[in-house]
A and B are shown apart, each in its own frame.
Chain A
Amino acid sequence: MNQSVIRPATLLSLLLLLTPLPAAALEQVQDYLYNRHDTELHGFIEGRGGVRVNRKEDQKDISIGEARLQLDLSRWLGDGELRLKGDLLADGVEEKLDAELREFNYSFSPYQSVDLRLGRQVLTWGTGDLLFINDTFAKDWESFFIGRDDEYLKLASDAIRAGIFSGPVDIDLIYVPLVTHSRYIDGSRLSYWHGPEGRIAGRDLVMADHERNRMFRDSEYALRLSRNLDGTEYALYGYYGFWSTPEGLDPATMKLFYPRLAVYGASLRRALGGGISNLEVGYYDSRDDRNGDNPMVRNSELRLLIGHERELARDFTGGLQYYLERKLDYDNYRASQPAGAPLADENRHLLTLRLTKLLLQQNLQLSLFIYWSPSDQDAHLRPKAHYKINDRLAVEGGANIFTGRHDHTFWGQFEDNSNIFLGLRQSF
């Protein structure tokens, strides 16, 4: 539903102008739905704008400029809950109107020890803080990098999720009939490293991909076995599907594609030394490049994550993570790359730091999240301030800073995209 019928900027100002007006009417609608139809209606209206720190020829100066309306409807139906959450977005950067269904699902328990959730839903598991090993579910990296709310990092999947809670371990099973791909950085809005041409590219060279589209064949399967034993959370994971971002390139069409992937992993989380510690590992089996000798498909990997978070002072917490991505069959990878192409290291080391401070009776939250890779010599900084003006109105401002010594590394390639943003949200 992408149409540029109305100029988004006009719509944006219209939506914002109207905000105080329908507030009273909206409350009546809420009461009516709740009293007559047992249905809760909530949501928010939001305006958000941001600019690039450095002007670049291949991208617009505005990194984000949008008005968003979210409607969230829920009602109990039998013993289950029906949920519908959708967004209307007037995007001034891409100059389009967009409708996105974030959730549309029914959750219920057919048996006492079985939970089912059917339909569009957000899927998350694993122990990392903004690092994902066994959470292979779809993400929206574009939203994450341009300063949308954290909620938009996760893309919803059309899935069946079952939980079985009768045995010694809890079992979660997820089936996604048609894989949900992540929204990756393709140049249309954010610039990236274009390997074949060996340069940073933007709107002049937007990557295209072959989306998987065969329902019931291009499917994802995920399994988690978990147990909480005296405060220690253990989990085993399995995933069978596709790389969530297009980690393959078809040289014939120069289009990206989503190679097959299986992931096997485990995690552990518990209180330790006055804080919370976590450990997570995963083996990424890149099934379209088992030997690692196909330069067009990402190699298999071992991934490891160790984290610790603790309270440093009252209302002030700090978290540290160490993350390792080890390319398997590195010799084959190196041999397969064309001469002169910049090579990725065998081990990509990454450290993250999170600092969160609550002030003014917890109404002001100052936070900083840093990714820093000593091996790639690049970093991504995410400072943010969020202030709740009152129970309904909140303002937030922040930045997404990318820096790196080389153009081809994970964070380094995004250097031109560094931006600052400001958002205002009214909830109802």
Chain B
Amino acid sequence: MNIMPTAVIAALLLFWPATSATAMEVAEIVERANKASYYAGDDGRTEVRMLITDAQGRERERQFVILRKNIEVGGRQLFYVYFERPLDVRRMVFMVHKYLDRDDDRWLFLPDLDLVRRIAASDKRSSFAGSHFLYEDVSGRAPVEDSHQLIEESADYYLLDITPNDPGSVEFSRYTARIDKSSFLPVYMEYFDRQGQKYRTVEALAVEEIQGFPTVIKSRVRDLAGGGETLMEFSNISYNIGLDESLFTERFLRRPPREIRR
């Protein structure tokens, strides 16, 4: 008689998370994954290094600092990207005001000409800075663009099958995302083309907890069709540093803020 409640509690403790997780709505998994990947903290700063290897094995580097601020969690965000490498784009700044309900506003500052350009490109599936990462991999893809289905669940992860609502707007027919149950970070994604061939993978190679936020500190994209890959490493990451909204304006394109200093 005495043992029973303990056993029940033990059973509950053991199985509760799993049971609750199974019961977790797909929409909630997607939402939590989106927030974990792109909205950690109120704001953040990270230094980024990319190593791009093309199909012939030639390597190119990118190095930049990203400042980010959330205006609303899961919604509007501001990005400031300060380039350091390669040398021909040194001191250039790429600024984005990201919206969910309309095209992002993007600016590029060319320091040699003291020129603030507005970028017309609205395609989010184009390469980010010549790497195998796409603009959308860096800034996030709005969950409302896709339909999500939970196709597999283990003790450690959810496996989602994701299809675009507007297939004409993207180059993939579907993709799968393995989402880590403890961090809700997507750790492995596979993209399939219209013929159903897997052509691209994105994977988190290392995750670290920073100020309580599980954070991908190393990731890799592989281009299975064309060959080549890009490795992206994050360092000196910090969250909730008190970035002001005014930092994401033309003023700070001309005069980079002290937050970008190493």
Contact = CB atoms under 8 A, between A and B. Distances in A.
A122 B254 CA distance: 11
A390 B60 contact: yes
A314 B125 contact: yes
A334 interface: no
A390 B85 CA distance: 12
Interface in A107-165: 107, 109, 115, 117, 121-125, 150-151, 153-154, 163, 165
Contacts of B85: 391
Contacts of B251: 115, 163, 165, 170
Contacts of B255: 107, 109, 115, 117, 163
Nearest to B246: A165
Contact of A124 (B86, B102, B114): B114
Contact of B112 (A122, A125, A228, A311): A122
Nearest to B58: A390
A2 interface: no
Contacts of A319: 120
A212 interface: no
A243 B102 CA distance: 42
A231 B87 contact: no
Given A228-B249, A391-B60, A42 B114 contact: no
B122 A311 contact: yes
Given A115-B251, A228-B249, A271-B103, A151 B113 contact: yes
A150 B88 contact: no
Contact of A361 (B52, B97, B125, B249): B52
B49 interface: no
Interface in B100-125: 102-103, 105, 112-116, 118-123, 125
A124 B58 contact: no
B126 interface: yes
B114 A311 contact: no
A214 interface: no
A361 B105 contact: no
A427 B90 CA distance: 11
A314 B125 CA distance: 8
A310 B121 CA distance: 6
A189 B158 CA distance: 69
Contacts of A76: 261
A363 interface: yes
A142 B86 CA distance: 29
Given A275-B120, A362-B127, A394 B88 contact: yes
B224 to A, nearest CB: 16
B53 to A, nearest CB: 11
B121 A317 contact: yes
A388 interface: yes
Contacts of A154: 112-114
Interface string B224-262: 000010000000000000000010011100110010010
Contacts of B123: 311, 314
Given A121-B114, A154-B114, A391-B60, A311 B87 contact: no
A226 interface: yes
Contacts of A163: 251, 254-255
A228 B87 contact: no
A153 B113 contact: yes
Nearest to A72: B90
B250 A151 contact: no
Contact of A427 (B87, B113, B228): B87
Contacts of A303: none
Contacts of B97: 231
B112 A361 contact: no
A427 B89 CA distance: 11
5 contacts: A124-B114, A233-B250, A271-B102, A361-B52, A427-B87
Given A124-B113, A315-B126, 8 more contacts: A153-B113, A275-B122, A310-B122, A311-B120, A362-B127, A363-B60, A394-B88, A427-B87
Interface of B: 52, 54, 58, 60-61, 85-88, 90, 97, 102-103, 105, 112-116, 118-123, 125-127, 129-130, 228, 246, 249-251, 254-255, 258, 261
The 10 closest A-B pairs by CB, nearest first: A362-B130, A427-B87, A309-B120, A124-B114, A391-B86, A151-B112, A122-B114, A276-B120, A276-B118, A311-B121
